[in-house]
Structure 1
């Protein structure tokens, strides 16, 4: 039988369309338990590659004969060999091209909504890392918020849509992934905005992203209004788009809130985090649709693949927004932190412009799940 080569894009459609898939992950058990391809209707078995060097006969009972099977490894080499052995044993099987490295880097652009006078809002979903980026399009112009490092995805999408990128924003100095924002700005001549309180150590020019800054995109006047919202970082800034959408960066997620410790400032910033979540956001319209910069688990995706919820619904349902006692809130935020992101300090240094590792090094730094939230 033929071994099928699956692209990350094909797997992404399986995730978004909530289809069934059986995955044989042949990475080491610790790597699998830390991070895997998530799907609401996916089944998994983890059998490390070294256990299959003598063949697959002894594990065939663990591999369904009546379902699509995808073999996954770190870079693809091991999965190709295992897939070939399973194919020789009569199973219909494929392997993930590029392995988990490719899965970590794939972005799926999904339309969130139409905006005023023909404008559009897109969410770029990085399923393998939990990152969410945004592009606002209006009258031949575009603005990008929280772009990840795969700049060609945004440049090609803008070209496909026939728009010029005029504005690029980062809601804060990211620590869990490498920003592509200033590189897109350099490529296109767009203005790059960064909160000045997060930019005290950056070594490149930027335009200060300040409270109540209002940037218009296109002649149809799509308003992108900044709202200072510290807590994840001291400079964290949210955006209100078209008076309909609230882009929260890493302050507020669907079922959790942002962690304040990635710059070693948990005790200093926890008060700012509470002020943002319990006062600043409470003053906003509850009908605003929250669009965060990350998601935590695959169940947070809507049926169309977007990650979005009404602010009013989150006030009712998000545990992090319902801790009335301030001392308890402080304990929750400082005592329930997951492991810090891989290489988070080096990633901060990259995003400051202080170091410039090569592509392979950047890939290794970003490998692993999203860890921006308080559990």
Structure 2
């Protein structure tokens, strides 16, 4: 028996395919409680590394012999040490997560959402360890990437595989929980970068104004991406209607919750905007639109193949954030007792404005942990 390494990509496929796996997470208890690997058939146990320095005898009876075992830590070193101890004690089928939770945070898994009317397609890129969702709209050899994360090589490689050119990158709003790759991707592909101007008051670079009434055409077909101004999460939040079938809602509306209005320190000011967007503007849209959000909160929101989506009409029936009829109660819900704010969110906003230029390692550290863009954790 020998300790094996498992990549974040391999782990993601196991989680999305609902395969059974036992995870021994050896990070400290606080980090584990804040953020962990989850899945339908994932069993997770937390025993901090420092408790296992003298050996693994204390946990051997809790480690199954008939399941795949994955040891996880922050960067991989501690998990390799503990994994070797388990192998020495005769535990079969033991692996460690290559790159640790940092690699888990950065992996993107492309999922086909569906075809478009004129022969194109829309893909969702699931950042399963962070809960971020990016999109690529493809038509006639061209593509637009929406809410790109900083690992831009994933989109470049996917476009190369599909033999398409990325013509546009779009951010639905100025992100506060992760560093956007939109501007960088546009520069690398010589495409156009679009950002809502009301979110761009402090940015220090040039951009195209993503405004209601403009239509971004992808390819030579009739497929268009139509901006819909929908403030509330930020003052500039702009949803995208793609192919009159898909509603890319950014961080305004999620499958299980709604967007929080406090990440720029403007909760009291933006609560009314949030309610107007969700209870009036979105109400005017066709109920059969497929909502595609920019984030998900828990693995239970993952559907077939890992896609995160829901019919708009169903969300008005089932999403608790869309069913608070009393306005004062709505205000309390979205401005009080919110989950903790995202890690380093102020620095992330500054980076997305172009005011800070952190190193790659600093960017990883800034993004560690779950996203917290929703009202309900």
Q: TM-score, normalised by structure 2?
A: 0.99
CA distance in 1, matches of 2:52, 2:150: 36
CA distance in 2, matches of 1:87, 1:221: 58
Instruction: Report deviation, 1:58.
Output: 2.0
Residue 331 (structure 2) aligns with: 330
Instruction: Report deviation, 1:117.
Output: 2.6
Instruction: Report deviation, 1:80.
Output: 0.5
Residue 202 (structure 1) aligns with: 203
Residue 12 (structure 2) aligns with: 12
The within-5 A match list for 1:141-156 is: 141-156=142-157
Residue 158 (structure 1) aligns with: 159
CA distance in 1, matches of 2:57, 2:269: 57
The within-5 A match list for 1:251-270 is: 251-270=252-271
The within-5 A match list for 1:194-273 is: 194-273=195-274
Residue 339 (structure 1) aligns with: 340
Gaps of 5+ in 2: none
CA distance in 1, matches of 2:375, 2:57: 43
CA distance in 1, matches of 2:312, 2:370: 25
Instruction: Report deviation, 1:44.
Output: 1.1
Q: Deviations over 1:76-132 (max 9, x none)?
A: 000001111101111120000000000000000011001123201000000000000
Whether the 8 Å contact between 1:116 and 1:220 is mirrored in structure 2 is no
Instruction: Report deviation, 1:15.
Output: 1.2
Instruction: Give the ranges of 4+ consecutive aligned residues of structure 1 lying more than 2 Å apart after TM superposition.
Output: none
Residue 357 (structure 2) aligns with: 356
Tell me how many residue pairs correspond in the alignment.
375
CA distance in 2, matches of 1:53, 1:329: 50
Residue 31 (structure 1) aligns with: 31
What secondary structure is seen at the aligned counterpart in 1 of 2:307?
Answer: coil
Instruction: Report deviation, 1:216.
Output: 1.1
Whether the 8 Å contact between 1:141 and 1:165 is mirrored in structure 2 is yes
CA distance in 1, matches of 2:132, 2:228: 21
What secondary structure is seen at the aligned counterpart in 2 of 1:258?
Answer: coil
Residue 113 (structure 2) aligns with: 112
What secondary structure is seen at the aligned counterpart in 1 of 2:118?
Answer: helix
What secondary structure is seen at the aligned counterpart in 1 of 2:185?
Answer: helix
User: What CA RMSD, in Å, does the superposition of the two structures yield over aligned residues?
Assistant: 0.6
What secondary structure is seen at the aligned counterpart in 1 of 2:372?
Answer: coil
CA distance in 2, matches of 1:213, 1:337: 35
Instruction: Report deviation, 1:202.
Output: 0.2
Gaps of 5+ in 1: none
Residue 186 (structure 2) aligns with: 185
The within-5 A match list for 1:40-119 is: 40-92=40-92, 93-119=94-120
Whether the 8 Å contact between 1:338 and 1:374 is mirrored in structure 2 is yes
